[in-house]
Homo-oligomer: A and B are copies of this chain.
Protein backbone atom coordinates (compact mmCIF):
# COMPACT_ATOMS: atom_id res chain seq x y z
CA UNK A 1 0.00 0.00 0.00
CA UNK A 2 1.80 3.12 -1.22
CA UNK A 3 1.18 6.63 -0.01
CA UNK A 4 -1.05 8.99 -1.91
CA UNK A 5 -0.29 12.46 -3.22
CA UNK A 6 -2.59 15.14 -1.80
CA UNK A 7 -3.37 18.10 -4.01
CA UNK A 8 -4.50 21.01 -1.87
CA UNK A 9 -6.53 22.77 -4.51
CA UNK A 10 -7.45 26.43 -4.77
CA UNK A 11 -9.38 27.97 -7.64
CA UNK A 12 -8.73 27.77 -11.36
CA UNK A 13 -7.58 25.09 -13.77
CA UNK A 14 -4.09 24.46 -12.46
CA UNK A 15 -4.94 21.96 -9.67
CA UNK A 16 -7.08 19.98 -12.10
CA UNK A 17 -4.27 19.90 -14.65
CA UNK A 18 -1.89 18.85 -11.93
CA UNK A 19 -4.24 16.05 -10.88
CA UNK A 20 -4.42 14.87 -14.48
CA UNK A 21 -0.63 14.97 -14.84
CA UNK A 22 -0.15 13.00 -11.61
CA UNK A 23 -2.77 10.47 -12.68
CA UNK A 24 -0.98 10.08 -16.02
CA UNK A 25 2.12 9.11 -13.99
CA UNK A 26 0.05 6.38 -12.31
CA UNK A 27 0.21 8.28 -9.05
CA UNK A 28 -2.57 7.72 -6.58
CA UNK A 29 -4.04 11.17 -5.94
CA UNK A 30 -6.43 12.61 -3.35
CA UNK A 31 -7.62 16.10 -4.19
CA UNK A 32 -8.56 18.45 -1.36
CA UNK A 33 -10.52 21.26 -2.97
CA UNK A 34 -10.57 24.26 -0.61
CA UNK A 35 -14.07 25.48 0.17
CA UNK A 36 -14.56 29.06 -0.96
CA UNK A 37 -11.65 28.86 -3.41
CA UNK A 38 -12.04 25.75 -5.59
CA UNK A 39 -15.12 25.07 -7.72
CA UNK A 40 -16.23 21.90 -5.95
CA UNK A 41 -18.39 20.73 -8.88
CA UNK A 42 -15.26 20.29 -10.97
CA UNK A 43 -13.90 17.76 -8.45
CA UNK A 44 -16.93 15.45 -8.51
CA UNK A 45 -15.39 12.99 -10.94
CA UNK A 46 -12.15 12.85 -8.93
CA UNK A 47 -11.26 11.29 -5.61
CA UNK A 48 -11.89 14.45 -3.60
CA UNK A 49 -12.42 15.58 0.00
CA UNK A 50 -13.41 19.23 0.23
CA UNK A 51 -11.68 21.02 3.12
CA UNK A 52 -12.18 24.16 5.14
CA UNK A 53 -8.65 25.52 5.34
CA UNK A 54 -9.18 26.84 8.88
CA UNK A 55 -10.41 23.55 10.27
CA UNK A 56 -6.91 22.33 10.73
CA UNK A 57 -7.55 19.26 12.89
CA UNK A 58 -9.96 17.96 10.27
CA UNK A 59 -7.54 18.78 7.47
CA UNK A 60 -4.81 16.76 9.20
CA UNK A 61 -7.23 13.88 9.81
CA UNK A 62 -8.30 13.92 6.17
CA UNK A 63 -4.69 13.79 5.03
CA UNK A 64 -3.86 10.94 7.43
CA UNK A 65 -7.02 8.98 6.76
CA UNK A 66 -6.23 9.36 3.07
CA UNK A 67 -2.73 7.90 3.59
CA UNK A 68 -1.21 11.07 2.11
CA UNK A 69 2.45 11.72 2.86
CA UNK A 70 3.15 14.23 0.14
CA UNK A 71 1.22 17.42 -0.53
CA UNK A 72 1.35 19.83 -3.42
CA UNK A 73 -0.54 23.13 -3.39
CA UNK A 74 -1.92 24.74 -6.53
CA UNK A 75 -4.57 27.20 -7.61
CA UNK A 76 -5.72 30.62 -6.51
CA UNK A 77 -6.46 31.37 -2.88
CA UNK A 78 -7.63 34.81 -1.91
CA UNK A 79 -6.50 36.15 1.41
CA UNK A 80 -9.25 35.02 3.79
CA UNK A 81 -11.58 37.37 5.63
CA UNK A 82 -10.35 36.51 9.12
CA UNK A 83 -13.55 37.82 10.71
CA UNK A 84 -15.62 35.18 8.91
CA UNK A 85 -13.50 32.13 9.61
CA UNK A 86 -14.81 29.28 11.75
CA UNK A 87 -11.60 27.56 12.75
CA UNK A 88 -11.64 24.30 14.70
CA UNK A 89 -9.62 23.94 17.92
CA UNK A 90 -6.41 23.24 16.04
CA UNK A 91 -7.04 26.15 13.72
CA UNK A 92 -7.69 28.39 16.74
CA UNK A 93 -4.29 27.56 18.24
CA UNK A 94 -2.66 28.47 14.92
CA UNK A 95 -4.66 31.64 14.33
CA UNK A 96 -2.44 34.10 16.28
CA UNK A 97 0.60 32.85 14.37
CA UNK A 98 -1.32 33.04 11.08
CA UNK A 99 -2.46 36.60 11.78
CA UNK A 100 1.08 37.65 12.64
CA UNK A 101 2.39 36.02 9.47
CA UNK A 102 -0.39 37.57 7.37
CA UNK A 103 0.68 41.02 8.52
CA UNK A 104 4.10 40.37 7.02
CA UNK A 105 2.51 39.46 3.69
CA UNK A 106 0.97 36.53 1.91
CA UNK A 107 4.33 34.93 1.36
CA UNK A 108 4.85 34.68 5.10
CA UNK A 109 1.39 33.14 5.53
CA UNK A 110 2.08 30.52 2.90
CA UNK A 111 5.48 29.80 4.40
CA UNK A 112 3.84 29.31 7.80
CA UNK A 113 1.35 26.84 6.36
CA UNK A 114 4.11 24.87 4.66
CA UNK A 115 6.21 24.82 7.87
CA UNK A 116 3.20 23.65 9.85
CA UNK A 117 2.41 20.79 7.46
CA UNK A 118 6.05 19.72 7.36
CA UNK A 119 6.15 19.88 11.17
CA UNK A 120 3.25 17.44 11.14
CA UNK A 121 5.32 15.02 9.08
CA UNK A 122 4.13 15.72 5.56
CA UNK A 123 6.38 16.59 2.65
CA UNK A 124 5.22 19.69 0.78
CA UNK A 125 6.36 19.43 -2.83
CA UNK A 126 6.72 22.13 -5.44
CA UNK A 127 4.55 21.88 -8.52
CA UNK A 128 7.65 21.24 -10.61
CA UNK A 129 8.57 18.09 -8.71
CA UNK A 130 5.19 16.53 -9.54
CA UNK A 131 4.64 17.81 -13.04
CA UNK A 132 7.67 19.68 -14.36
CA UNK A 133 6.22 19.24 -17.84
CA UNK A 134 3.54 21.83 -16.99
CA UNK A 135 6.11 24.59 -16.48
CA UNK A 136 7.79 26.59 -19.23
CA UNK A 137 11.47 25.73 -19.63
CA UNK A 138 14.04 28.41 -20.36
CA UNK A 139 14.81 29.22 -23.97
CA UNK A 140 13.14 29.04 -27.36
CA UNK A 141 10.46 26.36 -27.52
CA UNK A 142 9.48 26.14 -31.17
CA UNK A 143 11.12 26.69 -34.52
CA UNK A 144 11.15 30.49 -34.44
CA UNK A 145 13.35 32.72 -32.30
CA UNK A 146 12.76 36.33 -31.28
CA UNK A 147 14.70 38.92 -33.30
CA UNK A 148 16.51 41.92 -31.92
CA UNK A 149 13.39 44.13 -32.04
CA UNK A 150 11.37 41.40 -30.34
CA UNK A 151 13.94 41.17 -27.56
CA UNK A 152 13.75 44.93 -27.04
CA UNK A 153 9.95 44.66 -26.84
CA UNK A 154 10.25 41.78 -24.35
CA UNK A 155 12.54 43.91 -22.19
CA UNK A 156 10.11 46.83 -22.25
CA UNK A 157 7.17 44.57 -21.43
CA UNK A 158 9.09 43.06 -18.53
CA UNK A 159 9.82 46.55 -17.19
CA UNK A 160 6.13 47.46 -17.33
CA UNK A 161 5.06 44.29 -15.52
CA UNK A 162 7.81 44.82 -12.98
CA UNK A 163 6.52 48.33 -12.24
CA UNK A 164 3.00 46.96 -11.77
CA UNK A 165 4.07 43.84 -9.92
CA UNK A 166 4.45 45.55 -6.58
CA UNK A 167 0.79 46.65 -6.89
CA UNK A 168 -0.35 43.05 -7.42
CA UNK A 169 -1.87 43.74 -10.83
CA UNK A 170 -0.89 43.13 -14.39
CA UNK A 171 0.37 39.79 -15.55
CA UNK A 172 0.44 40.45 -19.27
CA UNK A 173 1.34 43.26 -21.64
CA UNK A 174 1.59 43.68 -25.40
CA UNK A 175 4.47 45.78 -26.79
CA UNK A 176 5.07 46.59 -30.45
CA UNK A 177 8.17 48.51 -31.55
CA UNK A 178 8.61 49.90 -28.06
CA UNK A 179 5.01 51.08 -27.79
CA UNK A 180 2.90 49.54 -25.05
CA UNK A 181 -0.32 48.66 -26.89
CA UNK A 182 -2.16 47.05 -24.02
CA UNK A 183 -1.90 46.11 -20.36
CA UNK A 184 -3.96 43.35 -18.80
CA UNK A 185 -5.74 44.23 -15.58
CA UNK A 186 -8.86 42.21 -14.71
CA UNK A 187 -10.00 41.36 -18.25
CA UNK A 188 -7.75 38.35 -18.90
CA UNK A 189 -5.17 37.67 -21.60
CA UNK A 190 -7.68 36.54 -24.24
CA UNK A 191 -9.58 39.84 -23.99
CA UNK A 192 -6.29 41.77 -24.12
CA UNK A 193 -5.27 40.00 -27.33
CA UNK A 194 -8.74 40.45 -28.89
CA UNK A 195 -8.50 44.18 -28.23
CA UNK A 196 -5.07 44.41 -29.83
CA UNK A 197 -6.39 42.53 -32.87
CA UNK A 198 -9.35 44.92 -33.15
CA UNK A 199 -7.47 48.16 -32.63
CA UNK A 200 -3.93 47.57 -33.83
CA UNK A 201 -3.95 44.20 -35.59
CA UNK A 202 -3.40 45.56 -39.08
CA UNK A 203 0.23 46.32 -38.31
CA UNK A 204 2.51 43.36 -37.78
CA UNK A 205 4.93 42.52 -35.02
CA UNK A 206 5.09 42.93 -31.30
CA UNK A 207 5.18 40.56 -28.38
CA UNK A 208 2.97 39.32 -25.59
CA UNK A 209 4.91 39.22 -22.33
CA UNK A 210 3.24 37.22 -19.57
CA UNK A 211 4.98 36.97 -16.22
CA UNK A 212 4.04 36.16 -12.62
CA UNK A 213 3.36 39.14 -10.41
CA UNK A 214 6.30 40.07 -8.26
CA UNK A 215 3.85 39.67 -5.38
CA UNK A 216 2.70 36.27 -6.60
CA UNK A 217 2.22 34.74 -3.13
CA UNK A 218 -1.48 35.56 -3.00
CA UNK A 219 -2.08 33.07 -5.74
CA UNK A 220 -0.37 29.76 -6.03
CA UNK A 221 -1.74 29.87 -9.54
CA UNK A 222 0.71 30.67 -12.27
CA UNK A 223 0.38 32.58 -15.54
CA UNK A 224 -0.74 30.18 -18.22
CA UNK A 225 -0.48 30.02 -22.01
CA UNK A 226 -1.95 27.46 -24.36
CA UNK A 227 -3.15 26.96 -27.93
CA UNK A 228 -5.85 29.61 -27.35
CA UNK A 229 -3.17 32.16 -26.41
CA UNK A 230 -1.26 31.34 -29.58
CA UNK A 231 -4.41 31.81 -31.68
CA UNK A 232 -5.14 35.17 -30.01
CA UNK A 233 -1.56 36.36 -30.47
CA UNK A 234 -1.63 35.34 -34.13
CA UNK A 235 -4.88 37.26 -34.72
CA UNK A 236 -3.27 40.31 -33.08
CA UNK A 237 -0.41 40.09 -35.58
CA UNK A 238 2.23 39.49 -32.92
CA UNK A 239 5.66 37.98 -33.54
CA UNK A 240 5.65 35.87 -30.43
CA UNK A 241 5.15 35.27 -26.75
CA UNK A 242 7.54 35.42 -23.80
CA UNK A 243 6.75 33.70 -20.50
CA UNK A 244 8.71 33.24 -17.28
CA UNK A 245 10.73 30.04 -17.35
CA UNK A 246 9.94 27.85 -14.36
CA UNK A 247 7.10 30.11 -13.24
CA UNK A 248 4.52 29.84 -16.01
CA UNK A 249 2.34 26.95 -17.09
CA UNK A 250 2.20 25.85 -20.70
CA UNK A 251 -0.99 23.91 -21.26
CA UNK A 252 -0.49 20.86 -23.44
CA UNK A 253 3.01 21.82 -24.48
CA UNK A 254 3.24 19.71 -27.64
CA UNK A 255 0.09 21.21 -29.12
CA UNK A 256 0.94 24.72 -27.97
CA UNK A 257 4.41 24.65 -29.54
CA UNK A 258 3.00 23.13 -32.70
CA UNK A 259 0.35 25.86 -32.91
CA UNK A 260 3.07 28.50 -32.49
CA UNK A 261 5.15 26.91 -35.26
CA UNK A 262 2.17 26.74 -37.60
CA UNK A 263 1.28 30.38 -36.86
CA UNK A 264 4.91 31.49 -37.30
CA UNK A 265 5.19 32.79 -33.73
CA UNK A 266 8.06 32.35 -31.33
CA UNK A 267 7.46 31.07 -27.82
CA UNK A 268 10.24 31.64 -25.34
CA UNK A 269 10.79 31.02 -21.64
CA UNK A 270 12.80 33.86 -20.14
CA UNK A 271 14.74 33.77 -16.88
CA UNK A 272 15.03 36.40 -14.20
CA UNK A 273 16.90 39.44 -15.39
CA UNK A 274 16.56 38.31 -18.98
CA UNK A 275 14.56 40.12 -21.62
- Which residues of A are in contact with B by a Cβ distance under 8 Å? 159-160, 163-164, 166-167, 169-170, 173-174, 179-183, 185-187, 191, 195, 199-200
Distance A34 CA – B91 CA, assembled complex (angstroms): 69
Q: Which 8 A-B pairs have the closest CB atoms?
A: A183-B183, A169-B180, A180-B185, A181-B186, A163-B163, A183-B185, A182-B185, A187-B199
A163's contact among B167, B174, B187, by CB below 8 Å, is which?
Answer: B167
User: How far, in Å, is A70 (CB) from chain B's closest CB?
Assistant: 35
Distance A32 CA – B167 CA, assembled complex (angstroms): 43
| 29 residue pairs bridging A and B, Cβ less than 8 Å apart | A160-B164, A160-B167, A160-B169, A163-B164, A163-B166, A163-B167, A164-B164, A164-B183, A167-B180, A169-B180, A169-B183, A170-B180, A170-B183, A173-B185, A181-B185, A181-B186, A181-B187, A182-B185, A182-B186, A182-B187, A183-B183, A183-B185, A186-B199, A186-B200, A187-B195, A187-B199, A191-B195, A191-B199, A195-B195
Known: A160-B167, A160-B169, A186-B200. 11 other contacts (CB 8 A): A159-B167, A163-B163, A164-B183, A169-B180, A179-B186, A180-B185, A181-B185, A181-B186, A182-B187, A187-B195, A191-B199
In the complex, which residues of chain B have a beta carbon less than 8 angstroms from the beta carbon of A199?
Answer: 186-187, 191
A168: nearest chain-B partner, CB-CB: B180
* Most chain B CB atoms below 10 A, which of A182, A183, A191: A183
A176: nearest chain-B partner, CB-CB: B186
Distance A164 CA – B166 CA, assembled complex (angstroms): 11
* Most chain B CB atoms below 10 A, which of A166, A185, A191: A185
In the complex, which residues of chain B have a beta carbon less than 8 angstroms from the beta carbon of A169?
Answer: 160, 180, 183
Distance A200 CA – B183 CA, assembled complex (angstroms): 17
User: How far, in Å, is A190 (CB) from chain B's closest CB?
Assistant: 11
In the complex, which residues of chain B have a beta carbon less than 8 angstroms from the beta carbon of A186?
Answer: 179-182, 199-200
A164: nearest chain-B partner, CB-CB: B163
User: How far, in Å, is A114 (CB) from chain B's closest CB?
Assistant: 27
In the complex, which residues of chain B have a beta carbon less than 8 angstroms from the beta carbon of A159?
Answer: 167
A160: nearest chain-B partner, CB-CB: B167
A199: nearest chain-B partner, CB-CB: B187
User: How far, in Å, is A81 (CB) from chain B's closest CB?
Assistant: 13
Distance A238 CA – B86 CA, assembled complex (angstroms): 34
Distance A191 CA – B191 CA, assembled complex (angstroms): 13
User: How far, in Å, is A164 (CB) from chain B's closest CB?
Assistant: 6
